[in-house]
Chains A and B, each alone.
Chain A
Amino acid sequence: MNKGRIGRIVEEVIVQIVPDLKGKSIDFESTLEDLGADSVDRSEILVLCLEALSLNVSLVELAAVRTPAGLTERLSHIVPHA
């Protein structure tokens, strides 16, 4: 799976968790917090991304992630053959 596809999954999940972002373009360099995701939302975003990609890895793997770009980058390293 290429990074562009992973980025789209990340975007879909973020919009699902922060409905205010629907129809708006998401700045991938913004922090998830600045995009309106509170701490529970951020955990949910990480779990839903892992579920969407069928990645059964520890959340510790994503602990340092702050932005959609960072999340996409990190996931693309974890996904087999990305």
Chain B
Amino acid sequence: MRKTRITGLGVITAGASGVAAFADSLFNPGNVFGYLQRAGRTAETDPFIGAEIKQLPDVPELNPKLLRTVSLTGHLALSCVSQAWKDAGLAGEDPTRIGLIVGGSNLNQRELLLAREKTKGNAAFLNPGYALAFMDTDLCGLCTQTFGIVGPSFTAGGASASGLVSVIQAHEAVLSGRVDFCIAVGGMMDLSAWECQAFRSLGAMGSSVFKDEPHKACRPMDLARDGFIFGESCAALVVERVGARSSGPVRSYAQLVGASIRCDANRQPSPSEKGEIAVLRDAMKEADLSPADVEYVNLHASDRDWVMTSSCRP
């Protein structure tokens, strides 16, 4: 069977930093939702609702020179990679056999907006570092430099499924034999007010229905749902080749035994039951599993979650 395993985890959200705290927050959620207040992300009219990280984590590996220029997205990615790196015990492994894939595209919109606004009318004084920061691959550079990774590193975009795309690409990179370890990073998309406004106008992001009760706005799978609610978060995991290490027991969180990516020949964000059934069948075939073997299904849970649930019915 074509399989890899997951041996390291890192996560940060508005409600928790670190895997243990994150797990606890899932079962004991406090209220982290309110009005978005980060510079460049505030609304002109009804406030945007979401969850922002109040305090940035310390990243011991981050040197002061990088710290000066690192974006919020970069800082969170480094924190998650640092956690996952230590969790999997990657120090001492051959750096040529480690890869890193960042899931996401246009991750740095808010800070780029701030940089443009700061130098509006004085373009000559735009920070030259903008030329690096506007590319999502800046996260590849930041993380590989900080951790001495010299295997392949690139970004993979798949809209709201980008994190999962990065995991599947990491899985494929390990299965191909190119690397023994591949870190998949679900990068934080640092939305500016412009993206928030467009998502709201599109009906994708929560409207002003809960403007007076922001803590009630985030309600996936609920009849009164009102679109997705933005939350700052990032995660990383280490995908490892089975048998990659010659000695010592390795703790494995999970095995990845099947995956699939397909399109529906459709530009729109509308889901397709036919397409979803096709990828489910692909992945289960690769894993050599039948529906009776499946005990738990975790869905993406977008507004059209009925399509996903109907895709899963026998």
Contact = CB atoms under 8 A, between A and B. Distances in A.
Interface of A: 16-20, 36, 40, 43-44, 47, 50-51, 56, 58-59
Contacts of A47: 124-128
B30 interface: no
B124 A50 contact: yes
A19 B64 CA distance: 7
A18 B129 CA distance: 14
Nearest to B119: A51
Q: 8 smallest A-B Cβ distances: which pairs?
A: A43-B128, A51-B125, A19-B64, A44-B128, A40-B129, A56-B124, A47-B128, A47-B125
Contacts of A19: 64-65, 68
B28 interface: no
Interface of B: 64-65, 68, 122, 124-129, 131-132
A44 B115 CA distance: 14
Interface secondary structure of B, over-half rule? helix
A42 to B, nearest CB: 9
A19 B251 CA distance: 39
A71 to B, nearest CB: 15
A47 B129 CA distance: 11
Given A40-B129, A47-B125, A50-B125, 19 more contacts: A16-B68, A17-B68, A19-B64, A19-B68, A20-B64, A20-B65, A40-B128, A40-B131, A43-B128, A44-B127, A44-B129, A47-B124, A47-B127, A47-B128, A51-B122, A51-B125, A56-B122, A58-B124, A59-B124
A40 B70 CA distance: 13
Nearest to B126: A47
Contacts of A16: 68
Given A40-B129, A44-B129, A18 B65 contact: yes
Contacts of A40: 128-129, 131-132
A18 B63 CA distance: 11
Contacts of A51: 122, 125
Contacts of A59: 124
Nearest to A16: B68
